[in-house]
Amino acid sequence: MGLTALVFAALACNLPSRQSSTHTPQPIPVSQEAADSLEATVIAAFEQAQSGEPVTVVLDETQITSYTAVFFAANPDLGLSAPQVFLRDGQVLVNAQYIQGPIKSPVELALSLSTSADGNIQASLTTVKLGSINAPDSMKESISAVVNQALSGSFGASATGLRITDVAVGSGTLTLTGVRQ
Protein backbone atom coordinates (compact mmCIF):
# COMPACT_ATOMS: atom_id res chain seq x y z
CA MET A 1 0.00 0.00 0.00
CA GLY A 2 2.91 2.34 0.69
CA LEU A 3 4.22 1.75 -2.83
CA THR A 4 0.79 2.58 -4.20
CA ALA A 5 0.76 5.86 -2.28
CA LEU A 6 4.25 6.67 -3.52
CA VAL A 7 3.27 6.00 -7.12
CA PHE A 8 0.24 8.25 -6.78
CA ALA A 9 2.41 10.97 -5.23
CA ALA A 10 4.88 10.82 -8.10
CA LEU A 11 2.09 10.96 -10.65
CA ALA A 12 0.35 13.79 -8.81
CA CYS A 13 3.50 15.89 -8.66
CA ASN A 14 3.79 15.84 -12.43
CA LEU A 15 0.17 16.24 -13.45
CA PRO A 16 -2.54 18.79 -12.69
CA SER A 17 -5.26 17.77 -10.28
CA ARG A 18 -8.81 17.80 -11.56
CA GLN A 19 -12.08 16.54 -10.25
CA SER A 20 -13.03 13.06 -11.40
CA SER A 21 -15.80 12.83 -13.95
CA THR A 22 -17.34 9.90 -12.05
CA HIS A 23 -20.14 11.03 -9.78
CA THR A 24 -21.09 8.99 -6.73
CA PRO A 25 -24.80 9.67 -6.19
CA GLN A 26 -25.27 8.03 -2.79
CA PRO A 27 -22.34 7.83 -0.40
CA ILE A 28 -21.93 4.62 1.53
CA PRO A 29 -22.13 5.27 5.27
CA VAL A 30 -19.03 4.52 7.32
CA SER A 31 -19.19 3.17 10.86
CA GLN A 32 -16.97 1.33 13.31
CA GLU A 33 -19.83 -1.13 13.83
CA ALA A 34 -19.85 -2.09 10.14
CA ALA A 35 -16.05 -2.53 10.16
CA ASP A 36 -16.33 -4.70 13.28
CA SER A 37 -19.12 -6.68 11.59
CA LEU A 38 -16.83 -7.50 8.64
CA GLU A 39 -14.13 -8.67 11.01
CA ALA A 40 -16.60 -10.78 13.03
CA THR A 41 -18.00 -12.34 9.84
CA VAL A 42 -14.53 -13.35 8.65
CA ILE A 43 -13.55 -14.74 12.07
CA ALA A 44 -16.77 -16.78 12.22
CA ALA A 45 -16.02 -18.18 8.75
CA PHE A 46 -12.52 -19.25 9.83
CA GLU A 47 -13.97 -20.97 12.88
CA GLN A 48 -16.60 -22.72 10.74
CA ALA A 49 -13.91 -23.81 8.25
CA GLN A 50 -12.15 -25.74 11.02
CA SER A 51 -14.84 -28.40 10.61
CA GLY A 52 -13.56 -29.06 7.10
CA GLU A 53 -16.81 -27.98 5.46
CA PRO A 54 -16.83 -25.31 2.74
CA VAL A 55 -17.70 -21.83 4.01
CA THR A 56 -19.24 -18.90 2.23
CA VAL A 57 -18.83 -15.31 3.37
CA VAL A 58 -20.98 -12.52 1.97
CA LEU A 59 -19.74 -8.99 2.62
CA ASP A 60 -21.56 -5.81 1.66
CA GLU A 61 -20.44 -2.36 0.54
CA THR A 62 -21.01 -0.78 3.94
CA GLN A 63 -18.84 -3.37 5.70
CA ILE A 64 -16.02 -3.14 3.13
CA THR A 65 -16.14 0.67 2.90
CA SER A 66 -16.10 0.99 6.70
CA TYR A 67 -13.26 -1.50 7.12
CA THR A 68 -11.26 0.33 4.42
CA ALA A 69 -11.93 3.70 6.08
CA VAL A 70 -10.72 2.36 9.44
CA PHE A 71 -7.60 0.94 7.74
CA PHE A 72 -6.82 4.25 5.99
CA ALA A 73 -7.34 6.16 9.26
CA ALA A 74 -4.90 3.81 11.04
CA ASN A 75 -2.35 4.26 8.22
CA PRO A 76 -2.26 8.01 7.49
CA ASP A 77 1.12 7.67 5.74
CA LEU A 78 -0.76 6.16 2.77
CA GLY A 79 -2.27 9.57 2.08
CA LEU A 80 -5.69 8.07 1.35
CA SER A 81 -8.98 8.95 3.02
CA ALA A 82 -12.74 9.01 2.52
CA PRO A 83 -12.99 5.67 0.69
CA GLN A 84 -16.14 4.49 -0.98
CA VAL A 85 -16.13 0.85 -2.15
CA PHE A 86 -18.79 -0.15 -4.66
CA LEU A 87 -19.43 -3.70 -5.80
CA ARG A 88 -20.91 -3.49 -9.28
CA ASP A 89 -20.92 -5.39 -12.56
CA GLY A 90 -18.38 -7.96 -11.40
CA GLN A 91 -15.89 -5.30 -10.28
CA VAL A 92 -14.77 -3.65 -7.07
CA LEU A 93 -14.81 0.12 -7.61
CA VAL A 94 -12.88 2.22 -5.09
CA ASN A 95 -13.09 6.00 -4.86
CA ALA A 96 -10.99 7.86 -2.31
CA GLN A 97 -9.16 11.11 -1.69
CA TYR A 98 -5.39 11.23 -2.06
CA ILE A 99 -3.68 13.90 0.02
CA GLN A 100 0.07 14.45 0.01
CA GLY A 101 1.25 17.84 1.21
CA PRO A 102 -0.53 20.50 -0.86
CA ILE A 103 -1.79 17.92 -3.36
CA LYS A 104 -5.36 16.74 -2.97
CA SER A 105 -6.99 14.70 -5.68
CA PRO A 106 -9.68 12.07 -6.11
CA VAL A 107 -8.44 8.55 -6.82
CA GLU A 108 -10.46 5.97 -8.68
CA LEU A 109 -9.63 2.26 -8.92
CA ALA A 110 -11.53 -0.59 -10.57
CA LEU A 111 -10.50 -4.16 -9.79
CA SER A 112 -11.57 -7.50 -11.14
CA LEU A 113 -11.21 -10.38 -8.68
CA SER A 114 -10.55 -14.05 -9.34
CA THR A 115 -8.97 -17.02 -7.57
CA SER A 116 -5.55 -18.51 -8.23
CA ALA A 117 -4.74 -22.22 -8.46
CA ASP A 118 -3.23 -22.10 -4.96
CA GLY A 119 -6.40 -20.66 -3.38
CA ASN A 120 -5.55 -16.98 -3.14
CA ILE A 121 -7.67 -14.06 -4.29
CA GLN A 122 -6.12 -12.32 -7.29
CA ALA A 123 -6.84 -8.72 -8.24
CA SER A 124 -6.42 -7.17 -11.64
CA LEU A 125 -6.70 -3.40 -11.84
CA THR A 126 -8.65 -2.35 -14.90
CA THR A 127 -8.78 1.36 -14.06
CA VAL A 128 -6.50 3.64 -12.10
CA LYS A 129 -7.24 7.37 -12.20
CA LEU A 130 -5.78 10.29 -10.33
CA GLY A 131 -8.19 13.13 -10.85
CA SER A 132 -9.32 12.79 -14.43
CA ILE A 133 -6.04 11.32 -15.65
CA ASN A 134 -5.79 7.61 -16.45
CA ALA A 135 -2.67 5.87 -15.20
CA PRO A 136 -0.58 4.02 -17.77
CA ASP A 137 -0.84 0.22 -18.02
CA SER A 138 2.60 -0.19 -16.44
CA MET A 139 1.35 1.58 -13.30
CA LYS A 140 -1.78 -0.60 -13.21
CA GLU A 141 0.41 -3.70 -13.39
CA SER A 142 2.68 -2.42 -10.60
CA ILE A 143 -0.24 -1.61 -8.31
CA SER A 144 -1.86 -4.98 -9.15
CA ALA A 145 1.37 -6.71 -8.14
CA VAL A 146 1.42 -4.90 -4.77
CA VAL A 147 -2.25 -5.69 -4.11
CA ASN A 148 -1.76 -9.35 -5.04
CA GLN A 149 1.31 -9.60 -2.84
CA ALA A 150 -0.78 -8.34 0.08
CA LEU A 151 -3.64 -10.72 -0.75
CA SER A 152 -1.34 -13.74 -0.95
CA GLY A 153 0.77 -12.72 2.05
CA SER A 154 -0.91 -12.31 5.43
CA PHE A 155 -4.37 -12.81 3.90
CA GLY A 156 -3.37 -15.70 1.64
CA ALA A 157 -4.15 -19.39 1.77
CA SER A 158 -0.82 -20.40 3.30
CA ALA A 159 -1.11 -17.81 6.10
CA THR A 160 -4.78 -18.37 6.91
CA GLY A 161 -5.19 -22.06 6.13
CA LEU A 162 -8.26 -21.22 4.06
CA ARG A 163 -8.18 -21.88 0.32
CA ILE A 164 -10.53 -19.58 -1.62
CA THR A 165 -12.35 -21.60 -4.28
CA ASP A 166 -14.69 -18.92 -5.63
CA VAL A 167 -15.05 -15.16 -5.55
CA ALA A 168 -18.05 -13.31 -6.96
CA VAL A 169 -18.83 -9.61 -7.06
CA GLY A 170 -22.54 -8.97 -7.26
CA SER A 171 -24.67 -5.88 -7.03
CA GLY A 172 -23.59 -4.58 -3.64
CA THR A 173 -22.02 -7.81 -2.34
CA LEU A 174 -18.75 -9.70 -2.41
CA THR A 175 -19.12 -13.46 -1.95
CA LEU A 176 -16.14 -15.63 -1.04
CA THR A 177 -16.25 -19.41 -0.81
CA GLY A 178 -13.40 -21.40 0.67
CA VAL A 179 -12.32 -24.62 2.31
CA ARG A 180 -9.76 -25.47 4.93
CA GLN A 181 -6.47 -26.65 3.45
pLDDT of 7 above 70: no
Its pTM stands at 0.80
More confident residue, 36 or 25: 36
b/e burial code for range 88-106 (CB count within 10 A of at least 16 → b): eeebbbbbbebbbeebebb
pLDDT tens digits, one per residue of 122-172 = 999 999 998 999 988 888 888 888 888 877 776 677 777 788 999 999 999
**Comparing 157 with 39, which gets the higher pLDDT?**
39
Domain boundaries, the chain: 2-16+30-180
Containing 83, the helix (H) or strand (E) segment is strand 80-88
Q: What is the mean pLDDT of the chain?
A: 83
The whole-number average pLDDT for the span 74-95 is 92
Comparing CA positions, the residue from 17, 66, 73, 74 lying closest to residue 38 is 66
Q: What are the backbone dihedrals phi and psi of residue 119, each rounded to the nearest 5 degrees, phi first?
A: 90, 15
Q: How far is residue 120's CA from residue 159's CA, in Å, rounded to a whole number? A: 10
What pLDDT shows up at residue 21? Answer: 46
